[in-house]
Amino acid sequence: MDQSEIQKKIQELQSLAEKNSVDIQSDLKRLQEKLNDGKMTPADLWKKIQLARNADRPTTLEIINHIAENFIELHGDRAFGDDQALIGGVGLLDGRPVTFLGHQKGRNMKENIRRNYGWAHPEGYRKALRLAKQAEKFGRPVITFIDTAGAYPGLASEDRGIGEAIAHNLRDFALLRVPVLAFIIGEGGSGGALGIAVANEVYMLENSFYSVISPEGCASILLRDPNKAAEAAVQLKLLPSDLMSFGIVDGVVPEPDGGAHADHALTAAHIKTQINESLKRLEQKTGEQLARERMTKFLSMGRFVEEGGPKPNFFQRLFSLNRRT
């Protein structure tokens, strides 16, 4: 990139970063105490959002380096290029080959320009699907780390079909005949997060969030005031405890005192414990079972009422009849 291109990119990213990045070095201890109290004010909750976005949290590559004995990054979607905001590759986990995928944020401005602040383009999602299908071919589990404010809302992203790319991931991840595990490690932002989160089991780090829209986006659209992001965050119910109570996620991975950034190795160790526990369970199942259970899980999601019609468990019953397939 030449100077003017970099300048333009910086401008472009700054407009996003203004809305999404944060500085949170203070009051962590006090915050941690508040968090354990349960009931949170918008200000308390906002500190948690900031914690999830802390630039010093362990990134996907750092977690992989902590937990895998060996790892080779595999690049490119074989059509357009390589997206450095969404990485993937093959690693060894306690001697067992696994495929890792994840959004990759940078630690500083320079890294973040390369990583596009973890906002992936279509080629990132297509690479993820390519590597997931490769994993299926060789019988490897797929483990994904989600940390993105969303798919990149830019011109190039639309030109190359970001909608189509995410859509195909949602459909084809559902069909994978190997175990798929997803970890929300920081920001779980909308379709860009879901694009690699159709998994048999979904876990959230203690200080992460997962939402249909950013608190800022919700504030400006529904509350008509971008300054009410903290209030919107409360209303969206996007914390691990909320998603556990909704049955959307399967567990919460604890973070060290002060947050994941305080001790990367310990955070990674907690994640590894969960991976091993989950894989021990999932590796007992056939490929067909894994795909069917994953589809049933997502087909059952939603809350509504229905008078005089089907009872809950509609899809479970439907699927129990589909055992022959």
Partner 1 sequence: MAFFSGVVDRLLGRQQPLPQDITFRDERSFVAQKHSCPSCHAHLEAGELENNLYVCPKCGHHYRINPAERIRTLVDPGSFQEFSQEIQSVNAIGFPGYEGKLSEAKAATGQGEAVTNGTATIDGRKVVLSIMNFKFMGGSMGSVAGEKLTRALLTGLEKQLPVVVFTTSGGMRMQEGIFSLMQMAKASAAIAQLELARIPFFAVLTDPTYGGVTASFAMLGDVIIAEPGASIGFAGPRVIESTIRQKLPEGFQKSEFQLEKGFVDTIVPRTALRKTLAFLIDTHPNR
Contact residues toward partner 1 (CB under 8 A) are 11-12, 15-16, 151-155, 157-164, 166-168, 170-172, 174-175, 190-191, 194-195, 197-198, 210-213, 218, 221-222, 235-238, 242-243, 246, 248, 294-295, 298-299, 301-310, 314-315, 317-318, 321-322, 324-325
The pair of three-digit structure tokens given for residue 265, joined into one six-digit string: 């190795």
Q: In whole angstroms, how close is the CB of 142 to partner 1 at the nearest point?
A: 15
Least distance between partner 1 and beta carbon 33 (Å): 26
Least distance in angstroms from the C-beta of 242 to partner 1:
8
CA distance 322 to 318: 7
| Rounded Cα–Cα distance for residues 14 and 113 (Å) | 10
Q: Which tokens is 134 given? A: 């490769």
Q: Which sign, positive or negative, has the C-alpha torsion 8, 11, 15, 21?
A: positive
User: Which residue's CB is nearer to partner 1, number 11 or number 286?
Assistant: 11
Closest CA to 82 of 143, 136, 126: 126
Least distance in angstroms from the C-beta of 42 to partner 1: 13
Task: Report the nearest approach of partner 1 to the CB of residue 311 (Å).
Answer: 8
Burial of 159 (0-12, 13-18, 19+ CB in 10 A): exposed
Q: Which residue, 273 or 322, has its beta carbon nearer to partner 1?
A: 322
* Beta carbons within 8 Å of 51's beta carbon, 6+ residues apart: 24, 28, 31, 207, 259
